Amino acid sequence: MTNANLPRRSWIQRWHVKGFGWTALMVLLLIGSSKMTDVNVGMFFSNLDQFADLIVRMSNPTWDYLSVIIQPLIETIQMAILGTTIGTIFAIPFALMAAGNLVHNKFLRGFDRLVLDLVRTLPDLLLAAIFVAIFGIGSTAGVITLAIFSFGMISKLFYEVIETIDMGPLEAMESVGASKITIIWYAVLPQIMNQFVSYFLYTLEINVRASTVLGYLGAGGIGVYLQRSLNEFNYGATAVIILATIVVVLIIDGISNHLRRVLL
């Protein structure tokens, strides 16, 4: 009688059908994608001497090059700051419009989110290539690229924050007949300001990283020199650029992390 109450494993559980199924699917996908990408483990090891040669040449940085790249490095940071700011300014109205607790019009909200989703699918370098074609080679193309890239990212982060706010102050102001703008200014903004600044800094970090390679396609900043040094096979200079970039990124990350900790 007790045996009848024992949980019985179904046929699928007993033979681990799900586990084997997933494993088989993964193996098939792995085989398929290695066929498609011509992965050849042997080739990597037979060409290892070339790769080692590259590493050796990169491990002798030509430090003199540092004086050349300081100005473009500064330009890179300036591009990131401006791009993030422009993106944020445009993101705020879109974020307010996409927040479910502020805008009750489902169609408007859905359309807004669709636009934001579409913007976020575009990789930054791809945008850079297009804007270089429009604005010509230089930092303007970089700033616009970063602005659009941060617009997509910030508006999503912002509307998710707005959706978590306490609705009490809003209802109080609504009940005394305040206008939408007044409500946003006095009831919404004070609740979200710190998180906004924190996400702004986070996006700035990402944009500093992104802006260091945008120049590879001509969109200004340190990337221009990266491309030049690689094309001239001047790997010592490449190493200096990479090291300097890493230092700058780490400094910006450190400052931003500190500020965000103070804020939240």
Contact 192, 51 (CB under 8 A): no
Closer of 30 and 108 to another protein (Cβ): 30
Cα separation, 264 vs 254, in Å, equals 16
Helices (H) and strands (E) in the chain, counts: 14, 0
CB of 193 to another protein, least distance (A): 12
Structure tokens at 207: 């944009």
Helix, strand, or coil (residue 108): helix
Which residue in this structure is represented by tokens 């879109």?
94
Cα separation, 75 vs 68, in Å, equals 12
CB of 176 to another protein, least distance (A): 28
**Nearest C-alpha neighbor of 124 from the set 115, 136, 132:** 132
Closer of 183 and 238 to another protein (Cβ): 238
Closer of 3 and 50 to another protein (Cβ): 50
Closer of 130 and 192 to another protein (Cβ): 130
CB of 174 to another protein, least distance (A): 29
Cα separation, 164 vs 172, in Å, equals 17
CB of 171 to another protein, least distance (A): 29
Closer of 192 and 242 to another protein (Cβ): 242
- Catalog residues that contact another protein under the rule CB under 8 A: 26, 29-30, 32-34, 36-40, 43-44, 47-48, 50-51, 54, 74-75, 77-79, 81-82, 85, 117-118, 121-126, 129-130, 133-140, 143, 209, 212-213, 216-217, 226, 230, 238, 242, 245-246, 249-250, 262
